[in-house]
Amino acid sequence: MKRAVAGAALVWGVTLGAMAQGAPPQNHLMPQPAELRSTQGSLPLSASFQVATPVFHDDRLDRAIARTLTHLEATTAQPLRTEIGRGAAGATLRVEVQGAGDAVPSYGEDESYTLDVTATQAELAAKTVVGAIRGLATLEQLLERTPTGYAWPAVHIADEPRYHWRGLLIDCGRHFEPVPVIERTLDAMAAVKLNVFHWHLTEDQGFRIESKLYPKLTALGSDGEFYTQEQARAIVAYARDRGIRVVPEFDIPGHSRSWFVGYPELASGPGPYTIRRDFGIEDAAMDPTRESTYVFLDRFIGEMTTIFPDAYLHIGGDESNGKSWKANSQIVAFMKAHNLADTGALQAYFNQRVLKLLQKHNRQMVGWDEVLNPALPKDVVVQSWRGAQALTQSAQGGYRGILSQPYYLDGMKSAKEHYLADIVPPDSPLTAEQRQLILGGEICMWGEQLNQATIDSRIWPRAAAIAERFWSPATVNNVDDMYRRLAVVSLQLEQLGLTHLSHQEVALRGLAGSQDVRPLAFLASVTEPVSFGERYRQQHTSQLTPLTNFVDAIRPDPPSRHESNMLTHHYLAKPGVENPAYGALVSFYQRCLQQSPAVDEAVRAVPQLQGVQPRAEQLPVLAGIALAALQYTAHGTHAPAGWKQQSLATLQAAEAPAGIVRFTFLAPLRELVQAVAE
């Protein structure tokens, strides 16, 4: 499992590790623990391996240990003893937990643990079962392959999270995600110590949770794609088993058209309503002026609290444009009568009413930026999709906050970009007291352009790098080292059942109609999807758009992005044929040239790949420029007059939209061309 670093260089033929010669042996943990001290020796994993819980145990701890044993068995193909001892005698791994912790996982629950491995035994100590679950995740990642078998290196780890709210939002409204997708996502979250599953359950495009009080919500608003209450409860239990909270979101008063299909009386407009198929801001909104709306919400929220025990409940509150309110004379009259100056004030009124309902049901309110209004008390939590500045303002205003904007996965940014965006940057103007109001961060996976086949590849492995940002000390920020470990954790996540790696070849086989997809796979290795916004502008995707084209097959931030950057920078620091990066870059761009005819042929054979043809045509041209630039710079020769200008123009042309995919190596290639003397 632990030789994975070699695999990061599938395209480039050179390992990242090889660039950092003489470095000490490094661990593959992600997130990195707060404190780690290597000691001498190692503890082999043998058939006699025996776990014991001599201090405390409960069913949840036993199940967590059983999962770890199953994972260790799968990794090593070796059967292990599955009975858990209750005394310390003879145990190879002692799991010493002080107590069960909170019955419902809570914000701020102690997640700390220590892990001490010696040549003869391992000891995992934690105050709570959740802490032990975090330590078991570390233990699994720590196992290493040796020439003779598997073993843990001797080590002392003392670990705890930097932030207590480390979330992942999945939008199941715009596209439904079946239960197995949610389950494997929770498995992956636990592996990288994320602890909040933010379940975006309702949208204009679909209402995804069964209400027995209001059955038409799903009967008419979901296309039959929703979670039964039994399924949702099972998900909550599944998450709890992994020390993960489930925060449900019911987005109101906007983003709510699917509610109105079954219950038009909730809406501000006359109706009737249908499920929305396209995307963007919706005019339809709940009517905040009728008491019947609050009666409905009171009963609905009460019902939902029987499914979702978490202390927090998300009411959305974003992107309500007020149009349907202004178009309704009764609502306009209400605003006048209640001295509500604008629709923002009306939404604040609505939020105050909803807040009271949440308080009645013992829930703390979370909402997006727009809920922020002086009229609201300070115990509302603001989730910022507008960015760090909005979060700063809300903290300065005394509100607790969660940062999301730098962690929007649909922007198709690199793991590096997400990784380097801290929740509270070093230059933040917030006081120490105000910083206490920042609960943590949330990764957002919005659902416009994904489905159950593609979602894993959009979330993983990038979310693992963000999970480290949320958990580990701010000083853990070496990008090269992050990518080295990300390649390892990516393979580990696949073995948990995630499809982020396998999906690409499955999809390419579907496109090619062939088992031999090497040419398309090569093109995939040097391209990535454009951002959500750019794809939307070019394709105007809707909920009904088939998501089986090339852009859906390929992954954001494939290894070639970081490797081309790293190798080019390494090379440009001291250009010359003796620089090891020179050979790697030449070899890669020559491969691009060699593969181009086959890529071109493969693309032309498939009607729906017509849009990608420009990329297939650009590939050899760009490779030719790169190889020329490498020659000029390596030998210190001058390029012919005009070569540089023309090459840069070609690069710029390759940045123009085509096939809703983009090359991964254009930025370092530009630097390379810029470095050519003329």
Residues of this chain that bind a second copy (CB under 8 A): 1-4, 6-10, 73-79, 82, 145-146, 148-150, 178, 180, 230, 453, 487-488, 491, 494-495, 497, 499, 501-502, 505-506, 509-510, 512-516, 544-546, 548-549, 605-608
Set 96, 319, 417, 671: catalytic member: 319
Query: From CA 157, how far away is CA 471, in angstroms rounded?
Result: 14
Q: What's the chain's length in residues? A: 678
Amino acid at 438: I
Minimum CB distance to a second copy smaller for 63 or for 326:
63
CB of 305 to a second copy, least distance (A): 23
Q: Which residues contact 607 (CB under 8 A, 6 or more apart)?
A: none
For residue 101, the SS3 value is coil
Minimum CB distance to a second copy smaller for 104 or for 179:
179
Three-class secondary structure assignment of 415-468: HHHHHHCCCCCCCCCCCHHHHCCEEEEEEEECCCCCCCCCHHHHHCCHHHHHHH
* Dihedral angle sign, alpha carbons of residues 155, 158, 161, 167: positive
CB of 387 to a second copy, least distance (A): 34
Minimum CB distance to a second copy smaller for 1 or for 354:
1
Distance of CA 52 to the CA centre of its chain: 34
Dihedral angle over CA of 475, 478, 479, 485, nearest 10: -100
CB of 275 to a second copy, least distance (A): 13
Structure tokens at 234: 């099972």
Minimum CB distance to a second copy smaller for 24 or for 546:
546
CB of 607 to a second copy, least distance (A): 5
Amino acid at 164: H
Distance of CA 182 to the CA centre of its chain: 13
CB of 216 to a second copy, least distance (A): 18
CB of 495 to a second copy, least distance (A): 5
Which segments within 253-293 are labelled E, that is strand?
Answer: none
Minimum CB distance to a second copy smaller for 324 or for 545:
545
Minimum CB distance to a second copy smaller for 317 or for 558:
558
Is 319 one of the annotated active-site residues of the chain? yes
**Surface-to-core class of residue 119, CB atoms within 10 Å of its CB (0-12 exposed, 13-18 middle, 19+ buried):** middle
Minimum CB distance to a second copy smaller for 6 or for 20:
6
The candidate with the shortest Cα–Cα distance to 138, out of 190, 178, 102, is 190
Query: From CA 622, how far away is CA 615, in angstroms rounded?
Result: 10
Minimum CB distance to a second copy smaller for 526 or for 626:
526
Q: Which residues contact 589 (CB under 8 A, 6 or more apart)?
A: 623, 626, 627, 630
CB of 299 to a second copy, least distance (A): 25
- Locus of tokens 């181009």: 596
Beta-carbon neighbour count of residue 636 at 10 Å? 9
CB of 267 to a second copy, least distance (A): 25
Active site positions, annotated: 319
